[in-house]
């Protein structure tokens, strides 16, 4: 702790060194709790991306591919140790840059370390298979890394989302170019300092900052990039996929969600309400798998909302650095978006049970009160669009069929939760949910070992677990006659 981030001008990290952006332009990142500038960072363009990708390509063709899987594993374990040792500094940076509470940021950085350690352990356990073809032939598969991979991430878990794809790509033997989000570049740039210190050869991990439509698009389109992992909105995901199609590049897309929490009359209501408070308000609701719609059986509707409202009222709100329960939203843009959607809910006739505005004791910063809507019709905008703020909507359900129709009725299909004491019902409905993750009597279960990702418009591919490593491998089939 204690290192200042203000008044700093950051440049790109390429070939294990700091490199000025070719165009000489810089952007500013702002502390969302105070609206004050925190630091400047490079506004990169195609020339900077080309320099980073060329460096990654050289490393892929030379130093990195000469290492054994065991040596790659040791480097990843080494990086995990250095990040763990720098945990307090990185935690503070995430909080200042994104507005997260220190507790949330600490959880993120611990998650980064766990992700690195899982993938470090995976690096020397990747193997192909042999396929029996007859007495005079042998056929086997060889797993090979894709080459240079691009990693484009959002601002809600800056280092967490970055490492979720960088660590398996490195374990698989790829070299990488990371483009952090323009709202939150600081933790990635701080992490850059640890890359050379760990002993990674130059060019294995490069970090280039800038705008999505400039640096991000140039990265996706670069001909030497052989795989793309994009985490962000559905809208941008479509653009990334269209650009990747030009080069026939595989994409992993981790996109948005409108994740239903379905609560039946026989549920443990205290647990469901506590989970709803976490699922809607943690990280200020800025999680792809937040829940902003509760599908409630009539019998428990009032009691569930009373319990949830009491928990929401007890949350403290203020600057993340003071470790409140809720910090601010990340930016003025997100603040306007979230307030706009809440206003649309009110106009459409949903009943505001709690919040909806700016907390009266905070006159600067992008703060929004914990907000709960009742009497929400599934056709309303607030029930259909990702809110990405601290707000949830209660929707009535008559029976299982209606619950499934509403839960599956949108383009999104990221995550869903079922609360019931009837295990047969839970498993029956799990099968019917078109969502990549289904949680039963809990929310945000799973870990670095378990794959995650979206169905339908919520994404393509899975991250985490061994599935995450296989995103970065391609199969070569070898057949031999003897």
Residues that bind ligand NAD in the complex, under the rule CB under 6 A: 152-156, 161, 179, 181-182, 211-213, 216-217, 220, 231-233, 236, 239-240, 254-257, 288, 386, 388, 414, 454, 459
Q: Is 284 a catalytic residue?
A: no
Q: Any idea how long the chain is? A: 482
* Strand ranges (E), 187-255: 205-207, 225-231, 251-254
CB of 217 to ligand NAD, least distance (A): 4
H-helix or E-strand containing 392? Answer: strand 391-397
Nearer to ligand NAD, 374 or 386 (CB): 386
Sort 223 into a burial class: Cβ within 10 Å, 0-12 / 13-18 / 19+: exposed
**Chain position whose Cβ is nearest to ligand NAD:** 212
**Residue tagged active-site, from 174, 176, 284, 288:** 288
| Bridging pattern class, strands 12-14 and 17-19 | antiparallel
**Residue tagged active-site, from 182, 254, 369, 386:** 254
Q: 177 forms bridges with which residues in the sheet?
A: 150, 206
Nearer to ligand NAD, 202 or 210 (CB): 210
Nearer to ligand NAD, 45 or 232 (CB): 232
CB of 259 to ligand NAD, least distance (A): 10
Q: Is 288 a catalytic residue?
A: yes
**DSSP per-residue string spanning 253-308:** EE-----EEEE-TTS-HHHHHHHHHHHHHGGGG--TT---EEEEEGGGHHHHHHHH
CB of 1 to ligand NAD, least distance (A): 27
CB of 385 to ligand NAD, least distance (A): 10
Nearer to ligand NAD, 232 or 345 (CB): 232
Nearer to ligand NAD, 44 or 420 (CB): 44
Q: 């393509």: which residue's tokens?
A: 460
Q: Are 435 and 416 in contact (CB under 8 A)?
A: yes
CB of 279 to ligand NAD, least distance (A): 13
Q: Are 209 and 12 in contact (CB under 8 A)?
A: yes
Point out the residues that are catalytic: 254, 288
């Amino acid at each position: 702790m204690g290192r200042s981030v203000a008044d700093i001008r950051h440049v790109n990290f390429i070939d294990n060194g700091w490199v000025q952006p070719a165009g000489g332009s810089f952007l500013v990142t702002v502390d969302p709790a105070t609206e004050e500038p925190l630091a400047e960072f490079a506004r990169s363009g195609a020339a900077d991306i080309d320099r980073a990708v060329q460096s990654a390509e050289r490393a892929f063709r030379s130093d990195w591919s000469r290492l054994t899987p065991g040596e790659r594993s040791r480097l990843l374990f080494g990086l995990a140790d250095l990040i763990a040792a720098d945990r307090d500094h990185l935690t503070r940076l995430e909080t200042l840059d994104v507005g997260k509470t220190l507790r949330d940021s600490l959880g993120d950085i611990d998650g980064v370390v766990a992700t690195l350690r899982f993938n470090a352990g995976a690096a020397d356990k990747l193997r192909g298979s042999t396929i029996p073809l007859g007495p005079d032939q042998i056929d086997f598969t060889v797993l090979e890394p894709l080459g240079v991979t691009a990693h484009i991430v959002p601002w809600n878990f800056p280092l967490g989302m970055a490492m979720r794809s960088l660590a398996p790509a490195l374990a698989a033997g790829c070299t990488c170019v990371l483009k952090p989000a323009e709202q939150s570049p600081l933790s990635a740039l701080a992490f850059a300092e640890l890359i050379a210190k760990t002993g990674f050869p130059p060019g294995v991990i490069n970090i280039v900052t800038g705008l999505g439509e400039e640096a991000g698009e140039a990265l996706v389109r670069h001909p030497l990039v052989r795989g793309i992992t994009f985490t962000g909105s559905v809208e941008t995901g479509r653009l990334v996929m269209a650009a990747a199609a030009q080069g026939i590049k595989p994409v992993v897309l981790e996109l948005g969600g409108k994740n239903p929490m379905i609560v039946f009359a026989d549920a443990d209501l205290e647990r469901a309400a506590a989970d709803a408070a976490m699922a809607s308000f943690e990280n200020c609701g800025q999680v792809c798998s937040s829940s902003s719609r509760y599908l409630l059986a009539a019998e428990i509707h009032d009691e569930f909302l009373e319990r949830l409202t009491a928990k929401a009222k007890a949350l403290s709100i203020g600057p993340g650095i003071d470790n409140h329960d809720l910090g601010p939203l990340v930016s003025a843009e997100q603040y306007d978006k979230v307030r706009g959607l809440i206003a649309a809910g009110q106009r459409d006739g949903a009943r505001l049970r709690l919040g909806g505005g700016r907390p009266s004791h905070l006159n600067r910063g992008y703060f929004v009160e914990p907000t709960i809507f009742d009497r929400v019709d599934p056709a309303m905008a607030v029930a259909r669009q990702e809110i990405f703020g601290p707000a949830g909507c209660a929707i009535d359900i008559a029976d299982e069929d209606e619950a499934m129709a509403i839960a599956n009725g949108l383009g999104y299909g990221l995550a869903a939760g079922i609360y019931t004491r009837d295990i047969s019902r839970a498993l029956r409905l799990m099968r019917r949910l078109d969502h990549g993750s289904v949680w039963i009597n809990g929310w945000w279960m799973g870990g670095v070992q378990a794959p995650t990702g979206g169905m339908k418009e919520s994404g393509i591919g899975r991250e985490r677990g061994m599935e995450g490593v296989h995103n970065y491998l391609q199969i070569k089939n070898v057949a031999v006659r003897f």
